[in-house]
Structure 1
Amino acid sequence: MCLGLGTYWTGRLAWADHLSRGNDLSSRVEAVRLCPSATLYERLAEKREELGGDPLPDLEQAVALEPENARWRLHLGLRAELSGDLGLAERSYREAARLSRQYQPRYLLAQYYFRRQNADQFGEWSRAAFATAYGDVAPLLDLCWRMQPNAEWLVEQSPAGRPEIASQFLLFLARHRQTGAGLPLALRLTATARSEDLPALLDYCNQCLYEGDGATAMGVWNALCARRLVPGHPLDAARGVSLTNGSFEHPPTGTGFDWRLEKAPWLGFAPFNGGLRLTLSGNQPEICLLASEYVPVLPESRYRLRLAPQPPETPSAEGLEWMVYDPSGKAVATGRSTDGWLTFTPATEVVRIGLIYRRPLGSTRLEGSASIAGAQLELVR
């Protein structure tokens, strides 16, 4: 007898499931009569809404059948809000957040209060959402900025102990040109940073440099140097310590305040005898950038820059010289004097020094290799 009852109910459940997937409303109504379950009531609600009916009673039945399931309450909240029943929507969202520790209920509550333009409740639930978030939080960051475009307020929303979320805050602030406001967050992240946090911190540092915010960039870079997360030493323009990897002690990383080597089919680089060897194919432009580095400087102070002296019998090349740019890309100084020094007076707190090749007048383009021992930058005052 038990076997027969089991077979009967198995068949009944299977038939109800089949009916609930039918294209007509009556089949789905019959499905919930045969087997009143939350899943089947949700399918009935979908079909009723598709036909222009009110899905809320069916979704309320789903909630009644599984009151501890946050999923049904979220679905009810969404449909109630679309129907204009804001009281039912808010209660459903809140109950879902109580039942679930997941990100989605809190994110939907933040969205709900954003649509209502309730700043206090939005702030509360956006913080709760960030605290439970995983993966991409860019949509919620966008909502925060639209609700309150205040960088200091946004930094306060960043959850402690969540470096994977904090790094997204940094990049968001950088994209909105709010690098200075992000420095406390960047330093907090740097203090406990792991290798997987380094790309976001360096991206933030780079964005600071692109925006000309040398002080913020140097704060992050020095903190990374102090923790040995990047090679090199902390920088201090006031003491004349402005160059990173000036003698190419380590392979250039191409980020932050380190050297950035240009990539082109006519150009190659390789370590050489404590310096760097560059190779030009002869097809390079008559004037071209080979390598560059951002350096912190004292505005309105006098500096001089040159290639470091080469060891004896080291191959060198004609046509190599320096150019200095401000953060906007405007040339501050170019060329060199007869003693090989390029003198300049910056107007900004960070400049970009560039090693360029310029074909000397009356000569063919350089084809072959030359070595560079490094750069020398001196604060003349």
Structure 2
Amino acid sequence: MAKNFQHIRPKLAALLIVICLISLFLAAESVRIAWATRLGKSSKVADLRKAVSLDPTNPDLHYRLGMAEVFDLENPDALDGTEQLDLATHLNPRETRYWSALASACQFEGKSNCAGDAIARTLALSAMAPRIHWEAANYYLWANQQEKAFNQFRRLLELDPSYAGPTFRASLGAAGDPQVVYDAVLTPAAHPKLKLAYLNFLSSREYGDFAFHIWKALAASKTPIAFSDADQYLEDLISARKYQEALSVWNDLEIRGLVPQSDDSSNLVFNGSFEHFPLNAGFDWRYHQEPYTAVRFENRQRCAGGGCLRLDFSDVENHQDEPVYQIVPVRPDQTYLLTARVRSVNIVSDSGPRLRVTDPACQDCLTTLTNAVVGTTPWHQLTLRFRTGPQTAAVRVSVWRARSLGYPTEILGTLWVDQVSLRSEAEVTAQVEKSGGPPDGK
């Protein structure tokens, strides 16, 4: 048996040596890969080059080195960086970000064929990724291939409408014509929200006329539109003081049933009796809640008519306040009569709430107020006569309270407002002469 052990002893020793060598090799490989991985996390080009030399078959290290070399602001090496990115794509040709980076590097170097091939590979690998279509569209613009660029922009918006703003800026900057962009990027089949986003984009720039053209085409079509989708365009028009266009949009929404029908077409104030809960937008009443003024809309049980506005004041810090207002289009150089029914309970202040009319474009040109409402009063009428200026296109009708200059400075109590009406004095006079008495609500 001893002789047999003597015989196999050299073989065991050889096996142990092989195992030790393999273990040492694996340990060395682990150390090499670990060190390369650690260096690969650096942003320094020198460290990344060492990482690549330690692990030359790792595509991610070539990718990181290529990105660092191409886009190094201080010492760029675009030539080697592009080669590193190309190596990354060969080591792993199914990784989209490698092709995307190579496309950017080639474009940076002005190599259109290289960039175009890389862009085509990114589209083939990630056809459903919005970012890839964004990159492709911008490449095609750079390569002066506008039709391909617009095709990519159109597909991008189909995948992700949140790219609408950047897409419209890039497309319009390239084409210079909003009609070209509308036809090529949106197309008749585009979602209404995208078309409305485009007209919002145009209206905020110097293409308001074309935006209005898009709106009228949408309004005349059977395309479903929600008020929330059109609200931004309407607000842009009102903010720009394009009141006639805004009124046209408002009327279109009214025809579609997205805005309640006005009960009295001769009353310039919309929803003057608060029969509909205000939209807080457009030409309806706008309101905001403050800690010291609660805004409510009540039913007919407590109102003079079908509904009414209720304001509860609890202001002990003497704020100037305008909790409710409405923008009303009017004509210049015209005399108007504003009336409203109001009542109050325990309003404690020497500066009570009033109705106020101002010109949003020029308060110095037109600002007028009714008497203040204080104490406890039954339903009674407030009347305000005013004349618009030569440039007045709209007025702001509001419930307004000035800071008190006397004692007590706070304001407490409740005010109800109903049957707010604004008519031209000439119309009121003609109605009185025709009917032999004052018009309804006067």
Same fold by TM-score greater than 0.5: yes
Superposition deviation, residue 209 in structure 1: 0.5
1:42 matched to 2:75: no
Q: Which secondary structure state, in structure 1, belongs to the residue aligned with residue 85 of structure 2?
A: helix
Query: Which of the residues 297, 303, 308 maps onto 1:275?
Result: 308
Match of 1:3? none
Q: Which secondary structure state, in structure 1, belongs to the residue aligned with residue 55 of structure 2?
A: helix
Give deviations 1:292-347, integer Å, cap 9, x for gaps. 1012345555532211x35xx86597652331324465643523599823243464
Amino acid at match of 1:133: D
Give % identity: 19
Change (3 A) 1:296 1:138: same
Amino acid at match of 1:324: T
1:25 matched to 2:49: yes
Superposition deviation, residue 71 in structure 1: 3.5
Amino acid at match of 2:105: R
Equivalent-residue separation in structure 2 for 1:113 and 1:54 (angstroms): 25
Change (3 A) 1:16 1:93: farther
Residues 355-364 or 241-250, more deviating = 355-364
Match of 2:432? none
Q: Which secondary structure state, in structure 2, belongs to the residue aligned with residue 42 of structure 1?
A: helix
Q: Which secondary structure state, in structure 2, belongs to the residue aligned with residue 55 of structure 1?
A: helix
Change (3 A) 1:154 1:17: farther
Q: Which secondary structure state, in structure 2, belongs to the residue aligned with residue 289 of structure 1?
A: strand
Match of 2:324? 291
| Aligned partners of 2:103 and 2:119 also within 8 Å | yes
Unaligned runs of 5+ in 2: 1-22, 40-46, 372-380, 428-442
Unaligned runs of 5+ in 1: 1-7
Match of 1:54? 80
| Aligned partners of 1:235 and 1:242 also within 8 Å | no
| Aligned partners of 1:25 and 1:47 also within 8 Å | no
Query: Which of the residues 145, 158, 170 maps onto 2:186?
Result: 158
Match of 2:14? none
Match of 1:256? 282
Superposition deviation, residue 214 in structure 1: 1.9
Question: What TM-score, normalized to structure 1?
Answer: 0.73
1:320 matched to 2:347: no
Match of 2:239? 210
Residues 125-134 or 266-275, more deviating = 125-134
| Aligned partners of 2:344 and 2:413 also within 8 Å | no
Q: Which secondary structure state, in structure 1, belongs to the residue aligned with residue 279 of structure 2?
A: coil
Match of 1:130? 157
| Aligned partners of 1:233 and 1:244 also within 8 Å | no
Equivalent-residue separation in structure 2 for 1:42 and 1:287 (angstroms): 62
Give deviations 1:21-73, integer Å, cap 9, x for gaps. 2345354245344xxx6545424534665784613233334434555654432
Equivalent-residue separation in structure 1 for 2:68 and 2:321 (angstroms): 65
Give deviations 1:337-369, integer Å, cap 9, x for gaps. 998232434645543222333589999665422
Query: Which of the residues 308, 333, 344 maps onto 2:387?
Result: 344
Match of 2:266? 240
Equivalent-residue separation in structure 2 for 1:153 and 1:328 (angstroms): 39
Match of 1:5? none
Q: Which secondary structure state, in structure 1, belongs to the residue aligned with residue 357 of structure 2?
A: strand
Query: Which of the residues 156, 172, 182 maps onto 2:201?
Result: 172
Amino acid at match of 2:99: R
Change (3 A) 1:83 1:13: farther
Match of 2:430? none
Change (3 A) 1:323 1:25: same
Equivalent-residue separation in structure 1 for 2:172 and 2:136 (angstroms): 17
Query: Which of the residues 62, 66, 72 maps onto 2:98?
Result: 72
Equivalent-residue separation in structure 2 for 1:294 and 1:364 (angstroms): 32
Equivalent-residue separation in structure 2 for 1:250 and 1:285 (angstroms): 31
| Aligned partners of 2:346 and 2:412 also within 8 Å | no
Equivalent-residue separation in structure 1 for 2:231 and 2:125 (angstroms): 39
Change (3 A) 1:93 1:315: same
Structure of larger gyration radius: 2
Superposition deviation, residue 271 in structure 1: 3.0
Equivalent-residue separation in structure 1 for 2:122 and 2:365 (angstroms): 58
Superposition deviation, residue 277 in structure 1: 1.9
Residues 204-213 or 314-323, more deviating = 314-323
Query: Which of the residues 327, 332, 351 maps onto 2:366?
Result: 332
Match of 1:305? 338
Equivalent-residue separation in structure 2 for 1:336 and 1:314 (angstroms): 15
Residues 340-349 or 254-263, more deviating = 340-349
1:92 matched to 2:118: yes
| Aligned partners of 1:324 and 1:352 also within 8 Å | yes
Change (3 A) 1:60 1:319: closer
Equivalent-residue separation in structure 1 for 2:64 and 2:28 (angstroms): 17
Match of 2:168? 141
Change (3 A) 1:175 1:284: farther
| Aligned partners of 2:333 and 2:387 also within 8 Å | no
Amino acid at match of 2:238: L
| Aligned partners of 1:290 and 1:355 also within 8 Å | yes
Give the number of aligned pairs. 362
Residues 338-347 or 244-253, more deviating = 338-347
Amino acid at match of 2:399: L
RMSD: 4.4
Query: Which of the residues 91, 94, 110 maps onto 2:137?
Result: 110
Question: What TM-score, normalized to structure 2?
Answer: 0.65
Query: Which of the residues 407, 417, 432 maps onto 1:372?
Result: 417
